[in-house]
C-alpha cells in the first residue's frame, strides 16, 4: 500500500482531496464536535459549510480548553468523538489547518506524511485520519489528555531532577525512533511535548520536520523552528544541519525543566530580542540551574556543544544512554513504560482536572 509520503510525492495533495477521508482504519460516518454550546454530529462532507460555526462555537469548557489549544499560530485543535465505524465513540483530537499560503500547505503535508510514516512509534502521537475540504485540512490524532510540558512547567516553575531524568529518557527514545527512519523533528520544545493519561511524554507537531538520508549524512539548510531552541547551525544555516539539532533542543528542554529558564536567558530578563538571543546561542555560554547536579550539568553542556560533530549524540544514541545522568536507569523499562517506583508528576497535577470521560463529552440536555 502506498504511504501518504509516496502519495504526496506522486500527486502533491494526494490524500487530502476536498471532502474525502483517507484514513486506513474505517469509513468515517461523522464527527461529534464537542463545544460549550453542546454537541453536533458533522459529516466529513459537511465540514466546508460548518467550518465557520466550528470556529465561532467551539469554545471549550475550561477543563478542555487547558488541554486543547491553538497550535503553532496557524492551526486549531478540537476535541471530537467518532461517530460510526469500529471506533465509534472514540475521543480524538482534530487539528484544523486553513488552506491558504503554500507555506501552510507544505507544513501540513509534512506533518501528515510524518505521522503516517511513524504510526505506533514509541512516545510519539498517532494519526488515525486525514481529510480535506475546500477551505481546510484536518488531521485526527490521539486525544492526549494530560496537557503538555509547558503547562506542567507553568504549574510547578521547575521539576525535580529525578522527574526530569525520566521525561528526558523518554524523549531520547522518541527522538531515536524518529532518527532511525530519517526524520528530524526540528521544533522540539515543551509545548510540543504532550503528556498522556499516565504522564508519559508524547512528541507532537511535526510541521517543521524533515526527511533526511542520515546514513548518507544528508543535511538540510532551512531556517525553521523556534529561536529559543535553535542550534547554532540552524541560525547560521549556511553550514547545513542534521539530527544533531534535536539533541541541542533536548539540552534546552532539559535546562528549562530543571530551572524554568532557557540556558541563554538570565532570570532578570522578561524579554530578549531576537538579535541578542541569536548572538548568545552562537557565541555565549549556557547558564544552568544552580541546584542541578554535576551529572545534569555535564549532560546539558554536552548537548549544548556548539560544534554539532562534537555534540553528545553525534556518535550515536548509545553515548547519550551511557551518560552518568542516566546512571541506574533501565532503558528496557523506559521502552516498556514499566518504570517501577516512579510516579509521574503530571498525573496528579493535570489529570486531576478530569474525573471521567463523560466530563469531556459536554453534550447538551
CATH code of 185's domain: 1.10.510.10
Residues 116 and 154 in one domain: no
Examine residue 19 and state whether it is found in any structural domain, yes or no.
Answer: no
| Closest by Cα among 12, 45, 200 to 112 | 12
What is the SS3 assignment for 251-294? HHHHHHHHHCCCCCCCCCCCCCCHHHHHHHHHHCCCCCCCCCCH
Domain boundary among 142, 169, 196: 142
Question: Which one of 116, 142, 148, 187 is the catalytic residue?
Answer: 187
Residues 213 and 270 in one domain: yes
Q: 333 — phi, psi (to 5°)?
A: -70, -35
Q: Which residue has the cell 481529510?
A: 131
Question: Which one of 82, 95, 192, 205 is the catalytic residue?
Answer: 192
- Whether the predicted model's global pTM rises above the 0.75 cut: yes
- Tell me whether residue 321 is one of the annotated catalytic residues: no
Mean pLDDT of the chain: 76
Q: State how far the alpha carbon of 261 is from the alpha carbons of 224, 238, 279, in Å.
A: 22, 29, 17
Examine residue 28 and state whether it is found in any structural domain, yes or no.
Answer: no
Q: 175 — phi, psi (to 5°)?
A: -65, -35
Q: State how far the alpha carbon of 252 is from the alpha carbons of 21, 162, 228, 235, 264, in Å.
A: 38, 17, 8, 15, 9
Question: pLDDT tens digits, residue range 192-250?
Answer: 999 988 889 999 999 999 999 877 788 888 888 999 999 999 998 778 899 999 999 99
What is the C-alpha to C-alpha distance for residues 95 and 71, in angstroms, rounded to an integer?
8
Range of the domain at 127: 57-142
Question: Which one of 189, 210, 219, 256 is the catalytic residue?
Answer: 189
Taking residues 133-141, what's their average pLDDT? 84
- Whether the per-residue pLDDT at 17 is higher than 80: the answer is no
- Tell me whether residue 18 is one of the annotated catalytic residues: no
| Rounded to 5°, angle at Cα 140 from 138 and 141 | 145
- Tell me whether residue 192 is one of the annotated catalytic residues: yes
Q: Which residue has the higher pLDDT, 66 or 260?
A: 260
- pLDDT band of residue 164 (cuts 50, 70, 90) is very high
What is the C-alpha to C-alpha distance for residues 249 and 260, in angstroms, rounded to an integer?
15
- pLDDT band of residue 364 (cuts 50, 70, 90) is very low
- The confidence score (pLDDT) of residue 99 equals 78
Residues 103 and 180 in one domain: no
- The confidence score (pLDDT) of residue 51 equals 43
Residues 167 and 253 in one domain: yes
Examine residue 346 and state whether it is found in any structural domain, yes or no.
Answer: no
Domain boundary among 100, 115, 142: 142
Residue 124 gets which letter from DSSP?
Answer: B
User: Taking the CB of residue 239, how many other CB atoms lie within 10 A of it?
Assistant: 12
Residues 165 and 290 in one domain: yes
Q: Three cell numbers at 162?
A: 529525578
What is the C-alpha to C-alpha distance for residues 202 and 148, in angstroms, rounded to an integer?
9
Amino acid at each position: 500500500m502506498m504511504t501518504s509520503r509516496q502519495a504526496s510525492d506522486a500527486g502533491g495533495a494526494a490524500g487530502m482531496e476536498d471532502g474525502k477521508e483517507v484514513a486506513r482504519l474505517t469509513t468515517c460516518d461523522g464527527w461529534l464536535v464537542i463545544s460549550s454550546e453542546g454537541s453536533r454530529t458533522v459529516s466529513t462532507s459537511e465540514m466546508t459549510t460548518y467550518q465557520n460555526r466550528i470556529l465561532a462555537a467551539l469554545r471549550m469548557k475550561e477543563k478542555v480548553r487547558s488541554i486543547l489549544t491553538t497550535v503553532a499560530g496557524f492551526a486549531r485543535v478540537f476535541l471530537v468523538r467518532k461517530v460510526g465505524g469500529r471506533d465509534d465513540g472514540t475521543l480524538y483530537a482534530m487539528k484544523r489547518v486553513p488552506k491558504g499560503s503554500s507555506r501552510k500547505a507544505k507544513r501540513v503535508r509534512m506533518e501528515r506524511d510524518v505521522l503516517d510514516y511513524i504510526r505506533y512509534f514509541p512516545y510519539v502521537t498517532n494519526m488515525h485520519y486525514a481529510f480535506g475540504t475546500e477551505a481546510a485540512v484536518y488531521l485526527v490524532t490521539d486525544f492526549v489528555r494530560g496537557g503538555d510540558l509547558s503547562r506542567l512547567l507553568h504549574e510547578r516553575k521547575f521539576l525535580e531532577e529525578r522527574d526530569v531524568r525520566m521525561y528526558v529518557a523518554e524523549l531520547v527514545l522518541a527522538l531515536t525512533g524518529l532518527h532511525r527512519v530519517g526524520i528530524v523533528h526540528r521544533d522540539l520544545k515543551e509545548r510540543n511535548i504532550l503528556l498522556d493519561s499516565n504522564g508519559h511524554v508524547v512528541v507532537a507537531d511535526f510541521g517543521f520536520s524533515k526527511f533526511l538520508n542520515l546514513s548518507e549524512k544528508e543535511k538540510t539548510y532551512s531556517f525553521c523552528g523556534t529561536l529559543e531552541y535553535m542550534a547554532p547551525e540552524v541560525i547560521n544555516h549556511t553550514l547545513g544541519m542534521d539530527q544533531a539539532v534535536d539533541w541541542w533542543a533536548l539540552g534546552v528542554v532539559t535546562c528549562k525543566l530543571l530551572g524554568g529558564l532557557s540556558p541563554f536567558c538570565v532570570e532578570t530578563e522578561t524579554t530578549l530580542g531576537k538579535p541578542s538571543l541569536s548572538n548568545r546561542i552562537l557565541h555565549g555560554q549556557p547558564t544552568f540551574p544552580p541546584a542541578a547536579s554535576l551529572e545534569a550539568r555535564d549532560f546539558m553542556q554536552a548537548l549544548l556543544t556548539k560544534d554539532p560533530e562534537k555534540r553528545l549524540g553525534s556518535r550515536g544514541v548509545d553515548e547519550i544512554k551511557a551518560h552518568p545522568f542516566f546512571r541506574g536507569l533501565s532503558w528496557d523499562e523506559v521502552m516498556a513504560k514499566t518504570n517501577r517506583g516512579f510516579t509521574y508528576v503530571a498525573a496528579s497535577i493535570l489529570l486531576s482536572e478530569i474525573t471521567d470521560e463523560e466530563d469531556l463529552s459536554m453534550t447538551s440536555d
